[in-house]
Structure formats: structure tokens, C-alpha cells
Structure 1
Amino acid sequence: EARRERAKHSLERYMHYYERWASNQTSRQKAIADLQKAEKEQLAKLTEIYGIPETQLKFIIEAWSQIIECRRVLQWTYAYGYYLEDKVKSGFFEYLQGEAESGLERLHQCAEKDLLAFLPFSKHDTTEDHPSPAEFGEFRVKLAGLTRYNSELL
């Protein structure tokens, strides 16, 4: 019975780490697709709406690139965490991992969802339907700040 409990615990622990590893892999693949969409579609639409040259919109590409890199790093922290035996180090490691995940989620939310407010929903949208250039400037500062924070965190 004790052997069975240890085996069950071992399998549950493995599945915990593996599922989070796989989840970050899936999220990373989606982020790569979102980066390609931003490069191919979104930058041109933003240039059209706000008159900002694409070269000045690279902060969006940098944010997606940072998301991809953070997902890769977080993915492999789960492999590292699985083999980490020291309980004291493990607790601190999990704290740092949680901080990294939290920062990444804020960045991902901003790049994915907050950006949508500045993009047209259909071909019939007019410039008046979008937030002002000042609001776009505030978004730019927020996204660039989150990108910088995450690059320093990892």
C-alpha cells in the first residue's frame, strides 16, 4: 500500500510539472503565431489608423518576442523544478516562478487583449471608432514598460 501511494504521488508530481511544461509550450506556439499576425496585419492597420510609421511600432514586435522568450524560459523552469530536491530552494524557486508567470501574464494580456482596442473590428470601422492617439501613446508606454520588466525578470 505504501509503495502504491509513493507511486501515485510520484505520478501526480510528474503530471503536475509536465502539464505546466506542455502548457507553456502550447502558449509559446500560439505567441509565435500572434507575432506573425502582428507583423503581417496589425502593424499596417495601426499605421493606417494612427499614421504612425511601422518602424515606430516595433515595440509591439518586441513585446511578442519577449513573450515567446519568457514562455520558453518558463517552460524549462518546470523541468528544472521537477528535479529540484531541496525543499528550501524549492519554495524560493516556486516563488520566483510565480512572479515570472504573473509578470508574463500581464505582458501577454496587454499585447493580446489591450491592443485590440486600437485595431478595427471590420472594414467599415472609421477612425472615430478608435481611441485617441494620446491613448495609444499611453498603451505604448505600458506595453514597453511591461516588456522591459519581463526582460529584467528573466
Structure 2
Amino acid sequence: MFLVLNGPNLNRLGLREPGVYGAQTLEDLERQCEAWGAELGVAVTCRQSNFEGQLLEWIHEAQEQGFTGIVINPGALTHYSYALRDAISGQPLPVVEVHISNVDAREEFRHKSVTAAVCRGKISGLGFTGYRLAMDYLAEVLSPETGE
């Protein structure tokens, strides 16, 4: 079971900077993630919060709630939230960081991620497809053949 977390302002997808993030909404993204999970034979739960503390709580509780992997788009928290970094590193589940836009082609402050170093990997600039690739990766590393 995968947990897909979206951070601040991602509830504004489709409205906020459609030239950067596209015209699809968070609801569209969540439906796609659930459908991709079904293709992989994995249940997917999607959550979004504009509050750092709520994201921390969800990460802290993920393993106890039966999740086996986390896909996270921390939004702007990517660049400065050491609390989020510590929450990710302080729990045992594999985590993949995803960004819809190519953060390295944007403003300078977006080039630094404090969370990526404690994630298994980072996918950036591939739109919603990045979430699919993150889930594909988690399904592969968590398969019985890999022994994880």
C-alpha cells in the first residue's frame, strides 16, 4: 500500500501557474495515482496538506497504518524543511521525492532540496508521470524478488 503526499499549494493545481504545472487538478492527479496503483496491484492513498505538521504526522504514522512506500511532493517545503527531512529519514519506508515541474530549470532557490538526500530518489520535470514512475520504482523494490 502506497501513500502519496502532496504539500503546500498543490491543492491549487489547475489554477496556479498552469504554464508551469499544467491544467489538471489535484483531483485528476489523485485519480491517476489510484489507477496506476490498481495496475500495479497496490492500493494508493493520496493526501494533501498546506501544513507542515500534518505532513510530518502522516509520515510518522505511515508504517503503523500499513503503508509500504511513500511518494512525496513536498512543494516549497522541499527547500527548507529540516523537520520534513528528519521525518523522512526517521522512518523505515522507502520514499521517492517527486516534482511536477523541472525545479532545476526554475528560480535559483528551487535548485536545493533538503529532503532529496534522505529519499531513495528524486523525479523532477515529468509532470504527473513522475508519480507513476515513483510508484513503479516502489513496486519493483518492494517486490518479493528483491527481498526488501
Query: Structure with the greater relative contact order (CA < 8 A, sep ≥ 6): 1 or 2?
Result: 1
TM-score between both structures, scaled by the size of structure 2: 0.29
| Rg (Cα) greater in structure | 1
Identify the structure with the greater strand proportion.
2
TM-score between both structures, scaled by the size of structure 1: 0.28
Identify the structure with the greater helix proportion.
1
